[in-house]
Amino acid sequence: MFYHLFDYLEQFDFPGAGMFRYISFRASMTVITSLIISLIIGKRIIRLLKKKQIGESVRNLGLEGQSGKQGTPTMGGIIILASIIIPVLLFANLKNIYIILMLISTFWMGIIGFLDDYIKVFLKNKEGLRGKFKIIGQVGLGLIVGMILYLSDDVQIRERIPVDEQNIEAYGSNQLQVDDAGNLYVIREHKTPLTTIPFVKNNEFNYTWLVWFAGKYADKLVWLVFVLVVVFIVTAVSNGANLADGLDGLATGTSAIIGTTLGIFAYLSGNAIYANYLNIMHIPFTGELVIYASAFIGATVGFLWYNSYPAQVFMGDTGSLSIGGIIAVFAVIIRKELLIPILCGIYLVESLSVVIQVSFFKRTKKKYGEGKRIFLMAPLHHHYQKKGYPEPKIVTRFWIIGLLLAVVTVVTLKIR
């Protein structure tokens, strides 16, 4: 809102109005505003949750310190959502298709998570929202995101197309450009199902290659494949974040690191100069996503003030499902979804530990009549709790690993 207001006031030479044109200024204002909102409303929401007796019901899993978490206010994800949405509405360009898409994703996953927490807390059903309805909601968001990216004419990728002597006449002289090696090329903006492959020299992957057998129908069929990939990513990452939300500050701190990394990629991908210098995919207007990433970082760090050990509030599924969905959609928009296994490695190992544990237990039970386990308990963070590691140490080490994975992800820009 401020962005559009000062954009209008700039024509009247209003003092300072021009500063709102700069992403760096608005990003700074956004992260500060988000932090302030989360710190101010966080205290009040926690007090309200305690008053309404909206506390966590903890199952006895035999974990150290578990009993002390009983009754801790949950549904604190409301703090995160408010601290994201309000600053974005204030400082972002609300006409930007990517900002619109991120706001839709935030509201959508927030509603799903809120319903899950509401059923657990108010209806006293520990199972919460049934799994199939969660999946339907996640799939629904994946379909919406995939179809908007496919149908919207505002979603374009700017590519450098080489020009040789045989096709030079097809372009006007004003379109031709010359690189440092003296090679001719033209710049084209078009809709294409490209994405980024890490550690590969020519690191662009075209989903069309997956449907090469379709011949002349490949261009249409490829978008079906792309939408299915988006659905899978949204579902997997949101569930991964949900599983990681098991220790005080674990999911919050890890998500802040991931959000920072995605913000860096959004800025570089949306800037023609940096994208050209780094030889990465240039996606016009994604620089505006830096505003959203700033709000996300401020919200998660601000929430960590109350969620760090010992936690005064839990985010609940309202927060964890939303965070996972936000990260997934953000990565898809900037075409970095294939980097998720690296960047979101914490979420990945948490999810894999559950899959491996359950699969191995069922297989050994069927074969030997008695189920065996690989981990002392899944997800993985509970395994280390069972081994006697203090909760703060586990969380801090997971943060360090998450930071290392973020650095590796950024390094993929140059190491190919």
Q: What is the pLDDT of residues 86-114, one digit of tens each?
A: 999 999 999 999 999 999 999 999 999 99
Which one has a higher pLDDT value, 82 or 71?
82
Backbone angles phi and psi of 188, in degrees to 5:
-130, 135
Give yes or no for a contact between 222 and 213, defined as CB atoms under 8 angstroms apart: no
Helix (H), strand (E) at residue 206 = strand 204-206
Span of 51-60, 225-234, 257-266 with lowest mean pLDDT: 51-60
Residues 6+ apart with CB under 8 A from 152: 97
CA-based R_g, the chain, Å: 23
Say what the pLDDT of residue 50 is: 84
Span of 50-59, 89-98, 198-207, 245-254 with lowest mean pLDDT: 50-59
pTM of the model: 0.92
Say what the pLDDT of residue 203 is: 75
Backbone angles phi and psi of 123, in degrees to 5:
-95, 0
- The DSSP call for residue 205 is E
Q: For 336-354, how does the pLDDT look when each residue is reduced to its tens digit (9 = 90+)?
A: 999 999 999 999 999 999 9
Say what the pLDDT of residue 173 is: 53
Say what the pLDDT of residue 169 is: 58
Mean per-residue pLDDT for 288-299? 97
Whether the pLDDT of residue 23 is over 70: the answer is yes
How far is C-alpha 105 from the chain's CA centre? Answer: 10
CA distance 241 to 251: 7
Give yes or no for a contact between 44 and 312, defined as CB atoms under 8 angstroms apart: no
- The DSSP call for residue 104 is H
Backbone angles phi and psi of 376, in degrees to 5:
-60, -35
Give yes or no for a contact between 124 and 323, defined as CB atoms under 8 angstroms apart: no
Q: For 253-290, how does the pLDDT look when each residue is reduced to its tens digit (9 = 90+)?
A: 999 999 999 999 999 999 988 988 888 889 999 999 99
Q: For 106-152, how does the pLDDT look when each residue is reduced to its tens digit (9 = 90+)?
A: 999 999 999 999 998 888 887 889 989 999 999 999 999 999 998 88
Pick the closest to residue 101 from 152, 47, 58, 139 (CA basis): 152
Q: Which two tokens stand for residue 60?
A: 């006895």
Residues 6+ apart with CB under 8 A from 202: none
Pick the closest to residue 96 from 243, 262, 271, 284 (CA basis): 284
- The DSSP call for residue 375 is S
Amino acid at 117: D
Helix (H), strand (E) at residue 64 = none
Q: Considering the chain, what is the average pLDDT of its residues?
A: 88
CA distance 10 to 17: 5
- Kindly compute the dihedral angle of the four CA atoms of residues 400, 406, 411, 416, in this order, to the nearest 10 degrees: 120
Q: 312: how many CB neighbours lie within 10 A of its CB?
A: 17
